[in-house]
C-alpha cells in the first residue's frame, strides 16, 4: 500500500550527528540507514527524511489501530452479514473520509 505524500509542517531537522528531532522524539541513524532513508524519501516524493519518517510512523500507527479493531471484532460475539453491499458501503465510507480530508480517493 503506498504511503500518502502529505508534507509535514515541520522543517527538516538534520544535525551533524545524523539525528533527526521529530515532533515527539529523537531518532539516531547510521550513515547507511540515513542514505537508504534519503533515497526512499526522494523516491516517495517527500521534502525531507523527517517528513518521510513521520509518515511511516503514522502509517504504522494506523495499521496497528486497524489490527487492534479487527482483533477486537474477532473476539466479539456480535456478528453481521459481510457481502458485496457491505464492501460497497465500506468503499463509499472510505471515499467520503478522503474527500473530507482533501485527499485523493480510492480507485474502484
Q: Using 50, 70 and 90 to split pLDDT, how confident is the model at 17?
A: very low
Per-residue confidence (pLDDT) for residue 19, from 0 to 100: 53
Per-residue confidence (pLDDT) for residue 67, from 0 to 100: 92
C-alpha cell at 11: 522543517
Per-residue confidence (pLDDT) for residue 20, from 0 to 100: 54
Domain ranges of the chain: 1-77, 79-108
Give the residue with greater pLDDT, 30 vs 8.
30
Per-residue confidence (pLDDT) for residue 94, from 0 to 100: 87
Report the chain's mean pLDDT, rounded to a whole number: 77
For the stretch 62-106, pLDDT in tens is: 999 999 988 888 888 887 778 899 899 989 988 888 887 776 655
Amino acid at each position: 500500500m503506498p504511503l500518502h505524500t502529505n508534507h509535514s509542517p515541520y522543517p527538516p531537522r538534520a544535525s551533524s550527528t545524523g539525528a533527526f528531532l521529530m515532533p515527539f522524539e529523537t531518532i539516531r541513524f547510521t550513515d547507511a540507514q540515513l542514505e537508504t532513508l534519503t533515497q526512499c524519501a526522494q523516491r516517495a516524493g517527500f521534502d525531507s527524511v523527517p517528513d518521510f519518517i513521520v509518515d511511516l510512523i503514522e502509517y504504522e500507527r494506523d495499521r496497528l489501530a486497524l489490527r487492534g479493531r479487527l482483533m477486537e471484532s474477532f473476539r466479539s460475539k456480535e456478528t453481521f452479514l459481510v457481502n458485496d453491499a457491505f464492501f460497497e458501503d465500506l468503499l463509499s465510507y472510505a471515499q467520503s473520509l478522503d474527500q473530507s480530508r482533501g485527499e485523493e480517493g480510492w480507485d474502484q
